[in-house]
Chain A
């Protein structure tokens, strides 16, 4: 519903009173674009008539850079794709290299990896919850609430890897080193804190009628549309289509873990939000099971001991896809001998999800365009590669 009735506007136009659409440039420096994304909105009053996204401000050419680095050296670049969940990207990269070189991974390492990936998922989703709250306008409170849990998880990452956002903890063939003493007990404490944080969000945002009013029924997406647009991850599951690579094409130790795939019903902004909240809860369950399994295999190897000092892969080609935090995170790798990959290609979920933005925002209000962009949960490091 428009503020000004359509007939009135038309009558004014008939009297020779012309309205002109205005273009607004949102970004690359704008608080709502979560990085250096730019979109040019064409607005008629408060209504969005057209939207043109511009990307590439964060392009570092990491696919090409990977081709110029040793297999292990290139790891650092892949942390920087989805920089909110570095471990999840390392997982996909390592799986691709392992598949190329037929490298076995010890079981303990697999469990540690899955645990870290799920913690990364929590990290990334908390970032979404907080930033989305800020997009809807809750003056940073949700942001700080999310930050509390994120800082705690980052501390745990720092402890195993020495770095917070870009841990480079995984290696082709396992993980860099075993968990520190007493780590697992503290992770259990962390899970309690995460669940409490989730409850806080439930009270702060989901229980708020303004928040619900803003998000419910906004830009609903049907499963058919979502598939046509190439949406994956929470944005696809919010439409009710149950597709999660951890279940549908299980990798690593996911088949041995019990968890559920939360789905929405209408695919609107609110469902995208709720699916992510529910996924955080499911991830805590997964981490718990990993901890149980890890306690059964104390002292086992975490890195394949038979690996040479320099990884050389003669030839091979593979596409590995994992359920990243934003959707299907796929790595295509091509090796033609030597210690470097011949070609590496990233199928980044943020990029594919972002391509649906234009269709979603047309016809909404300016304020809605901002939260639709927020609900897609893009990471510019992944979009621009």
Chain B
């Protein structure tokens, strides 16, 4: 399937790139509109409600109705806001996220550009996201926004490290898989190397760390501290309305899907597993989409279930648990790969590490466990005089 590797229809490279960008952006917009709808429906089900039901059959046009409403709203700028910083902030958050979508392989070579440094590019660009958030926080002239922006920056710095290190663990292993001992940062190659087994099998701990750090980067529950609804009322975008607010929403969902596709490519086998690298491109596309959808659904599921962490607990978890475990994983991988021990050992050590992480959390919780406290009160009531 080298159809998409070359420029489409023999067009010049720049025109080819423009067409691909337009396709990706349009597809992403539709997916975002429907993921807001899907999230609302899903959350409603988790909460024993129906969700949107009035606009079209089962409320299917709700996303478009929301979009029209948002575009029609007044674009308010507070009087004491820093004009240009305030107005440019939504774009400064959105463009980096858009750029990450440029290198994601949705099927074999089916992306805008197939960069040799794909993983590196994603993180180099995604790091710029925080600039827009800080701009929004500082430029709004609102203290909630300021707190939200500062919280976002602190959180970003803390979780970027475990996130990148957990991905490095996978990149190390690709070195053993390519055969020449040199790892690859090319996302397309990483996906192709997982034809037999996805890397989550070899690196469950890295996947857990990646997933946790991803939730934090996305400001999703339980790490939605920068946008904490009940504390700082939306955080950095509290002063935005209308189209600028919807840019932030677009960014949030686009980056969620971006991360989901990225995670499915790096850890879940992308388009290559389980149907192989020779499958039809439509099958590959569906495979990637299904895996990304699974990740998105789990993110939403977590959001509806768990409460929010406090900022110091968040920091502690990152610096005292995730960072150490991710570096441990890196060192163990290095030792195993250097001596060329069998890959089963990688899976074993990483699974042990993942079990250790889960054990840490459970022990921490059960040390102060209260499960069954209600039960004791209940029996007390029965035995009272």
Question: Which A residues are closer than 8 A to B by beta carbons?
Answer: 1-3, 22-25, 30-32, 46, 133-141, 144-145, 148, 198-199, 202, 204-214, 216, 258-260, 262, 270, 274, 277-278, 281-282, 285, 365-368, 370
Contact = CB atoms under 8 A, between A and B. Distances in A.
B371 A282 contact: no
Interface stretch (B105-113, B199-207, B360-368): B360-368
A262 B222 contact: no
Interface in B127-179: 143-144, 146-147, 151, 154
Interface residues of B, number: 49
A144 B371 contact: no
25 contacts: A25-B143, A30-B233, A31-B230, A31-B233, A46-B311, A133-B307, A137-B307, A138-B307, A138-B308, A139-B229, A139-B304, A141-B47, A141-B304, A141-B305, A144-B49, A205-B307, A206-B373, A209-B364, A210-B308, A214-B309, A214-B310, A260-B377, A281-B381, A365-B311, A366-B231
B77 interface: no
Given A1-B312, A370-B230, A138 B306 contact: yes
A109 to B, nearest CB: 26
Contacts of A198: 374
B356 interface: no
B158 to A, nearest CB: 10
Nearest to B315: A3
B307 A278 contact: no
B79 interface: no
A259 B384 contact: yes
Contacts, number: 145
A31 B221 CA distance: 18
Interface string B216-254: 000001101100111111000000000000000000000
B313 interface: yes
Contacts of B46: 141
Given A140-B47, A206-B370, 20 more contacts: A3-B315, A31-B230, A46-B151, A135-B230, A137-B224, A139-B229, A141-B304, A144-B47, A208-B307, A210-B307, A212-B369, A213-B309, A213-B368, A260-B381, A274-B377, A277-B374, A278-B377, A278-B380, A365-B310, A370-B230
Contacts of A285: 381
B303 A24 contact: no
Nearest to B377: A278
Contacts of A365: 310-312
B143 to A, nearest CB: 5
The 3 closest A-B pairs by CB, nearest first: A137-B308, A209-B365, A278-B377
A148 B48 contact: yes
Contacts of B221: 137-139
A365 B315 CA distance: 14
A323 to B, nearest CB: 16
B371 to A, nearest CB: 6
Contacts of A135: 230
Contacts of A208: 305-307
Contacts of B370: 206, 212, 270, 274
B385 interface: yes
Contacts of B231: 32, 366-367, 370
B43 interface: yes
Nearest to A144: B47
Contacts of B312: 1-3, 46, 365
B287 to A, nearest CB: 30
B378 interface: yes
